[in-house]
Amino acid sequence: TGGSSDYSKLQLEEGPVATLVEIYATRMDESKVHLPSFLKKLEALAQFAARTVPGKNIFNPAEVREGLGLDNEGEIVTAPGFSVSGKMDVRGQQHLTIKGNIQYPEGVKVRFENAAGGKLGVYNANSAHFFTLPATVPLPANCANVIMTTKGGGYSDYTSIQVEYGEVSTETEPFRLVVATQDVDLRPFLPMSELEEQYVRKTKPGKNILDKSKIKEGRAVTPTGDLVNNAAYSSIETDVRDFKVLTYSGNMENARFARVRFQDAQNQKISVFNPEDQQITALPFSFPLPDGCTSIVVNTKNDGASDYDTLQLEAGTTATEHEDYHLVAASQDVDLSKKVDKDDPTLVKADRPGTNLIKVTDIREGLAVDNEGNIIAVGSYSIYRTPEDAIEENEIYTLQGEMTYPEAVKIRFEGPGQTFLGIWNAYSSKFLSLPASFPTPPGCVSVVINTKTGGSSDYSKL
């Protein structure tokens, strides 16, 4: 249609709001990182993972106990020819779905347990609920773990058994331990200084948000919440805008004087915790943050001795094992494209775009999407196809950028294998300017968009 596009300002992103334009970059997959493929299991646990959890399939064949079974009361009993699983964590779930090659599946039973291991009930006693697999099991309130019959007086192929969350049976995956991204500590892999300089958009404190290097000696919070000079005290100011409740722990004499000053975004006092020295008798103690609180000042020494190396401020109402203050990077804020080759699956499970889904080097000149959604040859146009699975179905995405005749932009929706699903903005029926948002249809895994509607573009800045 004639015109130009400034590729340096084009951005396609998830959501209905156009945000600050970013350069295309791949990042660590935000769902799960399978570290055993990168390191031996022991190294993964020791160096990178705060904890591991099962992947999709929570049934571990290695934990099967032969010669035991579940009776119709849900008790674990001696039963030759039967077997039972290990405990499977189901906290926070409402349903499980079981599948696999088990002779006499009507003999499968599921024992429900609370967090203390107490029995809550049994499912499929006397084959009352199912005779075949797959079968879905509703979980009772407060159920923390389940134990399941895995062989019912016959043969079972343990490698075929899958127990997964939800009400739908999906393709079987072998049991494996994965690491939730919030539990990945990248410091052993890359020094934080290197991370900060090259790979990280932002960092935040780990579990312990109290940075002892910022403690101010001779400064105290008074009973009224004022800040005064007092040589026998010390205090620290800490950002708390991401929290609702904090717990303070460590070794401190005269802990009853451990007051907390709550501050707003302008560092003005909102209120004070423990003003009468009666709410606290010892550490640890927990305190809620008032509305509008963005930072606190807390006494770290109170007319006595304090061991700064033991002090910890953490989220929640429970004091946990002490960790030194350190900066961590949330996975969505780590850009590993400079460190890990995009085709190397050792650390990155999948090559996943960041905020901006448009990769300049993959723009194809001389092609366009027409009003029927066909890809045709047009000399003054260009198109971009997102990687498959970069787009989610039934979501809103936003396209922005400087482009002459943006009304000529069309968006082709595709399913797996580039199957055509539909067209958006045919005959300029949906938008005439950018930024513009569009919904993806069911089954959509990628889109093809016009990235130039005639003229020139600066690819180097996209």
User: What's the pLDDT tens digit per position in 366-378?
Assistant: 999 999 999 999 8
Which pLDDT band holds residue 448 (cuts at 50, 70, 90)? Answer: very high
**What is the H or E stretch that residue 41 is in?**
helix 41-43
Backbone angles phi, psi at 413, to 5 degrees: -90, 135
Alpha helices in 118-259 (DSSP H): 192-194
103: number of Cβ within 10 Å: 12
Per-residue pLDDT at 348: 43
The DSSP annotation for 301-361 comes to EESS-B-GGG-EEEESSS--------EE--GGGB-GGGTS-TT-TTT-SS-EE-S----GG
Q: Which of these ranges, 46-55, 88-97, 248-257, 297-306, has the smallest mean pLDDT?
A: 46-55
432 vs 341, which has greater pLDDT?
Answer: 432
Per-residue pLDDT at 70: 95
Instruction: Choose the most confident range, by mean pLDDT, from 186-195, 211-220, 295-304.
Output: 211-220
The percentage of the chain sitting over the pLDDT mark of 90, rounded to a whole number, equals: 49
Which pLDDT band holds residue 310 (cuts at 50, 70, 90)? Answer: very high
Mean pLDDT for the stretch of residues 82-98: 93
Which pLDDT band holds residue 260 (cuts at 50, 70, 90)? Answer: very high
User: What's the first-to-final CA gap in the chain, in angstroms?
Assistant: 22
Per-residue pLDDT at 459: 46
The DSSP annotation for 268-294 comes to -EEEEESTTS-S-SSS-EEEEPPTT--
Asked whether the predicted pLDDT for residue 409 surpasses 70, the reply is yes
User: What's the pLDDT tens digit per position in 230-239?
Assistant: 999 999 999 9
Q: What is the rounded distance in angstroms from the CA atom of residue 297 to the CA atom of residue 168? A: 50
Residue 202 CA to its chain's centroid (Å): 16
Mean pLDDT for the stretch of residues 128-156: 91
Asked whether the predicted pLDDT for residue 347 surpasses 90, the reply is no
Q: Sign of the CA dihedral 359, 187, 330, 45?
A: positive
CB neighbour class for 321 (10 Å; exposed up to 12, middle 13-18, buried from 19): exposed
Asked whether the predicted pLDDT for residue 153 surpasses 80, the reply is no
Which pLDDT band holds residue 65 (cuts at 50, 70, 90)? Answer: very high
Per-residue pLDDT at 337: 47
Asked whether the predicted pLDDT for residue 193 surpasses 80, the reply is no
Residue 117 CA to its chain's centroid (Å): 28
Per-residue pLDDT at 91: 87
Q: Which of these ranges, 13-17, 170-174, 443-447, has the smallest mean pLDDT?
A: 13-17
How high does pLDDT run on average in the chain? 82
Strand pairing partners for 137?
Answer: 96
How many residues does this entry show for the chain? 462
User: Is residue 284 reached through a cis peptide bond, with omega within 30 degrees of 0 on the bond before it?
Assistant: yes
Instruction: Choose the most confident range, by mean pLDDT, from 213-222, 278-287, 359-368.
Output: 213-222
Residue 65: which region, alpha, beta or left (left: phi > 0; alpha: psi -120 to 50)? beta
The percentage of the chain sitting over the pLDDT mark of 70, rounded to a whole number, equals: 79
Mean pLDDT for the stretch of residues 192-221: 76
Asked whether the predicted pLDDT for residue 116 surpasses 70, the reply is yes
Does the model's pTM come out above 0.75? no
Burial 174-198 (b: 16+ CB within 10 A, else e): ebbbbbebeebebeebbeeeebeee
Per-residue pLDDT at 289: 93
Q: What is the rounded distance in angstroms from the CA atom of residue 439 to the CA atom of residue 321? A: 46
For residues 409 and 443, the answer to whether their CB atoms sit within 8 Å is no
User: What's the pLDDT tens digit per position in 156-165?
Assistant: 999 999 999 9
Residues 6+ apart with CB under 8 A from 145: 87, 88, 89, 90, 113, 115, 117
Which pLDDT band holds residue 282 (cuts at 50, 70, 90)? Answer: confident
How far is CA 161 from each of CA 85, 105, 155, 266, 351, rounded to the nearest angstrom? 11, 11, 12, 57, 30
